[in-house]
Structure 1
Amino acid sequence: MDSHKELQHRGTFECELCGLTAPYSYYGQKPPNAYPISLSEDSYVIKDPFTSDKDKFLILGSHCSLCRKRVCAGTDCSLFYSKRFCVPCVKLHLKEFPLEIRQDLEKKTRSKLHSSKTANSKDPKQS
């Protein structure tokens, strides 16, 4: 069997929140050539383009376990807490998550607000 064939482009992953698009080569829990690894969720996977090691791969994303939207693994779009959740679903069900998750989300939201206020207050004409 040609293992190279297993890593060929199968489709295009697109995050329904941020619009990130990338070709994926595998969808599931056991990526080819990653024998000892079994993922906790069905994931869209691509061979790591930054290495020639055929065993290395990147997880692009998965589906939100509540709304089923396809979301990337970026922290602005989703989080994994025993299952994948998109940030909008996390916010809707925030009270059902542990305190640490709620605090992290709160911190991130405050940090984003602060950085956007700082960016908006800078006058490009004064630079």
Structure 2
Amino acid sequence: MKRLASVALSIFSVFAIISSASAATPQAVQSNVTAQATVTKLVIEEDIPYNFYPYDYAPIWVTAHFSDGTSKLVSNEVNVTDEQACEYIKQPKTAYAMVKATRSTGNDVGWFTVEYGGVEKTLYFSVE
């Protein structure tokens, strides 16, 4: 009887050790932290007519492409760093911005440069 009690106690001890060891086993943790995506390029789409005269307007769409493969329309969030023969006009209630031809430059070239997330892009066009 003592031998049976001793065997039972030994088996119980083994199960206790195994269960405490499995409780202490580290589990994989899923992190909700994601790395910040950076801007890789800007794409400017425009609907500027071939004959673009002073005081004419045309819509502009600027899309930022990110390192994680996503993209976002940022026409009204860009910083305008340079304008020549035009005015870049943000339209906060729309998905696009507008460019207004202000005057001919003499060489009939206008442009604007926008910056977003450290990336710059320039669009050139003719002004009659």
TM-score range, shorter chain: under 0.3
Q: What is the TM-score when the length of structure 1 is the normalising length?
A: 0.20
Instruction: Work out which of the two has the higher radius of gyration on C-alpha atoms and give 1 or 2.
Output: 2
Higher relative contact order (CA 8 A, sep 6+): 2
- Which is strand-richer, 1 or 2? 2
Normalized per residue, the structure richer in helix is 1
